[in-house]
A and B are shown apart, each in its own frame.
Chain A
Amino acid sequence: MIYWKLILEAIGILIYATLVGFLFMGIERKAIARIQRRVGPPIYQPLIDTLKLLGKKESVSHGLIYDFGPVFALGATITALLFIPVANFRLFSTNADLIVVAYLLEVPMLGIMLGAMSSGNPFSALGVQRGLLTMVAMQLPYGLAIIALVQHWGTFKLNEIVALQGIHGWSIFVPALLLAMIVFDIVFQAMLGLEPFDIISAPAEISMGPMLEYGGKQAAILFTQHAIQLFAETTFFTILFLGGASNLLTLFIKQLAVLFIAIFVASIYPRFTIDQAAKFFWKWPTILGIIAVLLTV
């Protein structure tokens, strides 16, 4: 028996997520530009950029793993997306829980690192090092926020977390989980690669870091990956703390709210160096996270 409905839904959501993700990327650029009193590119710019990259006549390759990196990253992002309940579409979310999704959302990073390193470019290697250290630094507060959430709701299943929030009110109205949300939001900034944790790509000093060597179709794949990842992560945030959504419009509004917080924070703060970021993450977010988990035990 083949679940045609499910498969069609999955493909539909995938296309929707890609388009909305590109839209978010455009909004991100436009909003930051407006805050900096520039005009900014049109909102559909990232999409045209990607299409242009796909249309390139030639691209270069440093070997199999170099090509496999972006492909693996995109594949893992798609996997993560399809295990998240998106609005009223449950997709495959009954088959994997919070921990699996949290892991799957980190895997693409490893894919990009895998490919970027194999290029042999020292800027890429530097970017990889910074990316991984940021990940190490954010992992503890990230974990604590998730643990607080699971302890409060008593389940790992994303559907049940959404359902419970429907009955008892959103997570952020619970004091302990509000703390967890603050922690998660700080980490979120690093997950999206925005200031103050954008030292991974740091365009002005290491020329986009891991993504440096990629051009043509590989870059297009990476852009697409970023779009879907943006969609998946904002959805994940919404599910965990903002009560999920019953339809795509509500979801879109909530995602936009999450995104704008990230954009505003990013426009205000300057960049941390890696050791500053590590020390920062292991101080305030961790302390808040520990308070949150102890309140929910």
Chain B
Amino acid sequence: MNGIPIILFTPLLAGVLAWVFDFKGVRETIGLIGAAVPLAYLAKLYTEVTTNPLNYSITVGGFTLHFQLSTMSWYFTAVASTVALAMAFGMVSTSRRGYEWLFALMSFTGVLGVFLSQDFISFFLLWELMTFASFMMVLRRNRHESLKYFVLSVIGAYSMLLAIGILYAKTGSFDFNTIRQALLMDVSLGTIGKGETILLFTLFLTAFGVKAGAFPLHVWAPGAYSETDQSYTSFFSGALSKAGVYGILLIYILMGYKLYAELGTFHGHLTFAYIIAWIGAITVVVASFLAVLQEDIRKLFAYSSVGQVGYILLAFGTGTSLGLMGGLFHVLSHAVFKGLFWLVTAAIILRTGKTQFKDMGGLARKMPYTFAMGLIAVLSLAGIPPMAGFASKWLIYEAAISAHMPLVAGAIFLGSGLAFAYVVRFLYGVWYGQTPSDLKDVKEAPVSLLIAMTILAIPNVLFGVAPGLVTKYLNKVLGGQVIGGTYTKLITPHGTYNALLVTVILLFGLSVAGLIYVYGARARKIAVTDTYQSGNPVTEDYNLSIRKNFYRPLAEALDFWLKYSWDRFYERLARLFEDFADWLREGFYNGNVQSYSWYLAIILLILALWGVL
């Protein structure tokens, strides 16, 4: 008996208990314990995992399910558990129902299971558990968005099921190791042809692409991320989307060599990886542009989340170990900064009840701590050294450029410029400017939410100043010295980044600037309306902050492209199906008894011709 079943099933158990004992105080305590236990156990198992992986298997209904805690799955589960703990603290403030605790923790179990599974049966089961639980979370708030999520998830699930079926038919096994060995052998045997390999690749890519929110399957994400409890979204977008990323990694592990053998290379890049890289690059650009133009705080972060996961796909797509390192690091940094963003959003929505930028403003004075946490997240997402977001982005830059993928790397530059733009929109819209009159008595977020934010803010700074903590561990995961250096200094084959020194020099620069500031004249504090207005005095009656269409010129520059939308395309497709089904229904079920008797006669005739009767 090792820790794996405890890690895996405690959240689920806690969720059920929280649902049964649905009293204020009780469900929160149970939920918190359920979310904290996996992290505690993972911390305890750290030394064991780094020496050799732990195994665990259970037999259910004739199937043996294998779970393994390897260095890789430890990394993913640890990231997910950290975010989950923060989520639980956040939910203490924002959630009022046992229902939400049940499904939030159920999806936590699902995510952990996906990372720990060693065979396709448990992988698929827990994948579906995760999808189902997150679907239930969205369903509660918004039926339409949940259906969109559901339909795309079903498409993903069927693709995966088909792919697993094909693999089982060809290799006779569900076990990851056996499949991997079989596919390696198959490179020389050639029982799986080129067509089938491509089919398998496409199916898996669809399945995992849906969850990761890769373009053009990203359309569910903005709606689903917005229409649920925002504390849960920190987990949904921070950790659950990583299951898709993990799946892409699984393609590399299981089929990488086979895909290379069948598809070959394209201008010196692995063809299949190159496809993933381009999907990632397009996702980054499209989602970031859309994020810039959003007017709703939740939509903005939802699109930004899609874009950031695009970075991870892009990094994996370089196909080099440096790229894998960058992608894996970004899994961590995206989880912590985007989780933090969603918690900040949760606090804002909890305290103001508003979600649109046009209804907010000047909250920095009302919620200083939340603002500080938001600022950390902003700096990390925008990739300001020395934050975790910079370290991982830096690795991705180096990886993409060293892999000689210039256009893909260009997408990262564009994406990071756009990231600057949308985080500033968030800062300006929510925190600065005049406060609308109905938000005059907004209070600071509740303590548990502040704790949740702090939990996620610490890694943002810690792994930013000491990125070596992560890369040294990832060296073990990838089985080699990919990145050299110390805990605070990264050395790649062509570049260096000394995070600690950058921090020290930045502090030095800040203190020089600070000295000029301190030794200057005393500053008199003035009101926000006391500004230069070309000679026109301003009163509180006029709100002069730019509330709507902040980036209007960009929308004008892009008007040609904005005419096209995958979301609208799918909606139209859905309506088309609906109309067709309506037409069918109305045509057949026309309420006329005579036509019903005709149907009966025709069916009997067909059966008779078939020889059944």
A182 to B599 Cα, complex, angstroms: 75
Interface contact A78-B532, CB-CB below 8 Å: no
A14 to B511 Cα, complex, angstroms: 14
For residue B498, CB closer than 8 A to chain A, the reply is yes
For residue B407, CB closer than 8 A to chain A, the reply is yes
Q: What chain B residues lie within 8 Å of A63 (beta carbons)?
A: 364-365, 525
For residue B505, CB closer than 8 A to chain A, the reply is yes
Knowing A67-B517, A129-B546, A151-B406 are in contact, say whether A97-B495 is a contact too (CB < 8 A): yes
Pick from A70, A83, A132, A136: contact of B505, CB below 8 A.
Answer: A83
Q: What chain B residues lie within 8 Å of A138 (beta carbons)?
A: 417
Interface contact A79-B502, CB-CB below 8 Å: yes
Q: What chain A residues lie within 8 Å of B505 (beta carbons)?
A: 78-79, 82-83, 92
Knowing A63-B365, A96-B497 are in contact, say whether A71-B521 is a contact too (CB < 8 A): no
Name which residue of chain A comes closest to B500, CB basis. A95
Interface contact B526-A71, CB-CB below 8 Å: no
A65 to B431 Cα, complex, angstroms: 11
CB distance from A73 to the nearest CB of B (A): 8
Interface of chain B residues 403 through 425 with chain A (CB within 8 A): 404, 406-407, 409-410, 412-414, 416-418, 420-421, 424
A128 to B421 Cα, complex, angstroms: 9
A100 to B495 Cα, complex, angstroms: 10
Interface contact A297-B404, CB-CB below 8 Å: yes
Interface of chain A residues 97 through 139 with chain B (CB within 8 A): 97-100, 103-104, 106-107, 110, 113-114, 117-123, 125-126, 128-130, 132-133, 135-139
CB distance from A36 to the nearest CB of B (A): 26
CB distance from A174 to the nearest CB of B (A): 16
CB distance from A249 to the nearest CB of B (A): 26
CB distance from A168 to the nearest CB of B (A): 17
Knowing A72-B510, A96-B498, A150-B401 are in contact, say whether A58-B524 is a contact too (CB < 8 A): yes
Interface contact B502-A83, CB-CB below 8 Å: yes
Interface contact A142-B413, CB-CB below 8 Å: yes
CB distance from B270 to the nearest CB of A (A): 16
Interface contact B495-A98, CB-CB below 8 Å: yes
Interface contact B432-A60, CB-CB below 8 Å: no
Pick from B383, B410, B532: contact of A207, CB below 8 A.
Answer: B532
CB distance from A34 to the nearest CB of B (A): 31
For residue B581, CB closer than 8 A to chain A, the reply is no
Of the four ranges (under 10, 10 to 19, 20 to 34, 35 or more), the interface on chain B belongs to 35 or more
For residue B522, CB closer than 8 A to chain A, the reply is yes
Q: What chain A residues lie within 8 Å of B398 (beta carbons)?
A: 99, 156
For residue A56, CB closer than 8 A to chain B, the reply is yes
CB distance from B236 to the nearest CB of A (A): 28
A98 to B497 Cα, complex, angstroms: 10
Interface contact A151-B414, CB-CB below 8 Å: no
Knowing A96-B498, A117-B427, A132-B420 are in contact, say whether A278-B557 is a contact too (CB < 8 A): yes
Interface contact A120-B521, CB-CB below 8 Å: no
Q: What chain B residues lie within 8 Å of A201 (beta carbons)?
A: none
Knowing A119-B531, A274-B553 are in contact, say whether A95-B513 is a contact too (CB < 8 A): no
Pick from B428, B496, B521: contact of A56, CB below 8 A.
Answer: B521
Knowing A97-B496, A125-B545 are in contact, say whether A78-B509 is a contact too (CB < 8 A): yes
CB distance from B290 to the nearest CB of A (A): 13
Q: What chain B residues lie within 8 Å of A125 (beta carbons)?
A: 428, 433, 545-546
Interface of chain B residues 540 through 558 with chain A (CB within 8 A): 544-546, 550-551, 553-554, 556-557
A159 to B506 Cα, complex, angstroms: 21
For residue A157, CB closer than 8 A to chain B, the reply is yes
Interface contact B556-A275, CB-CB below 8 Å: yes
For residue A45, CB closer than 8 A to chain B, the reply is no
Knowing A82-B505, A99-B398 are in contact, say whether A67-B512 is a contact too (CB < 8 A): no
For residue B480, CB closer than 8 A to chain A, the reply is no
Interface contact B512-A95, CB-CB below 8 Å: no
Interface contact A120-B545, CB-CB below 8 Å: yes
A-B contact count (CB 8 A): 265
Instruction: Flag A231-243 by CB within 8 Å of B: 1 or 0 each.
Output: 0000000000000
CB distance from B538 to the nearest CB of A (A): 9
Q: Which of A25-33, A213-221, A263-271 contacts B (4 or more CB under 8 A)?
A: A213-221
A217 to B588 Cα, complex, angstroms: 81
Interface contact B532-A213, CB-CB below 8 Å: yes
Interface contact B520-A59, CB-CB below 8 Å: yes
Q: What chain B residues lie within 8 Å of A97 (beta carbons)?
A: 494-497
Name which residue of chain B comes closest to A113, CB basis. B424
For residue A87, CB closer than 8 A to chain B, the reply is no
Q: What chain A residues lie within 8 Å of B390 (beta carbons)?
A: 103
Q: What chain A residues lie within 8 Å of B494 (beta carbons)?
A: 97, 150, 154-157
Q: What chain B residues lie within 8 Å of A148 (beta carbons)?
A: 406
Interface contact B554-A136, CB-CB below 8 Å: yes
Interface contact B406-A293, CB-CB below 8 Å: yes
A172 to B331 Cα, complex, angstroms: 39
Name which residue of chain A comes closest to B362, CB basis. A120
Interface of chain A residues 33 through 84 with chain B (CB within 8 A): 54, 56-63, 65, 67, 70-79, 82-83
For residue B256, CB closer than 8 A to chain A, the reply is no
Interface contact B404-A100, CB-CB below 8 Å: no
For residue A94, CB closer than 8 A to chain B, the reply is yes
Interface contact B410-A100, CB-CB below 8 Å: no
Interface contact B510-A75, CB-CB below 8 Å: yes
Interface contact A71-B525, CB-CB below 8 Å: no
Interface contact B509-A79, CB-CB below 8 Å: yes
Interface contact B498-A121, CB-CB below 8 Å: no
Pick from B496, B517, B553: contact of A71, CB below 8 A.
Answer: B517
CB distance from A53 to the nearest CB of B (A): 9
Pick from A96, A136, A216, A217: contact of B418, CB below 8 A.
Answer: A136
Interface contact A220-B496, CB-CB below 8 Å: no
A148 to B409 Cα, complex, angstroms: 11
For residue B292, CB closer than 8 A to chain A, the reply is yes
Name which residue of chain B comes closest to A275, CB basis. B557
Interface contact A95-B384, CB-CB below 8 Å: no
CB distance from B287 to the nearest CB of A (A): 14
Interface contact A67-B523, CB-CB below 8 Å: yes
A62 to B434 Cα, complex, angstroms: 12
Name which residue of chain A comes closest to B517, CB basis. A71
Pick from A57, A106, A133: contact of B421, CB below 8 A.
Answer: A133
Q: What chain B residues lie within 8 Å of A139 (beta carbons)?
A: 413-414, 416-418
For residue A192, CB closer than 8 A to chain B, the reply is no
A155 to B545 Cα, complex, angstroms: 45
For residue B385, CB closer than 8 A to chain A, the reply is yes
- Most chain A beta-carbon contacts within 10 A, residue among B385, B406, B511, B517: B406
Interface contact A278-B364, CB-CB below 8 Å: no
Q: What chain A residues lie within 8 Å of B421 (beta carbons)?
A: 132-133, 135-136
Q: What chain A residues lie within 8 Å of B292 (beta carbons)?
A: 136
CB distance from B224 to the nearest CB of A (A): 27
Besides the contacts A82-B509, A157-B496, what 5 more A-B pairs have beta carbons closer than 8 Å?
A62-B526, A107-B384, A130-B553, A133-B553, A216-B520
| Sample (12) of A-B pairs whose CB atoms are under 8 Å apart | A82-B509, A83-B505, A95-B497, A103-B390, A121-B533, A123-B532, A133-B554, A139-B416, A147-B409, A148-B406, A279-B557, A293-B410
Q: Which are the 4 A-B pairs with shortest beta-carbon distances?
A: A143-B413, A217-B520, A139-B417, A78-B509
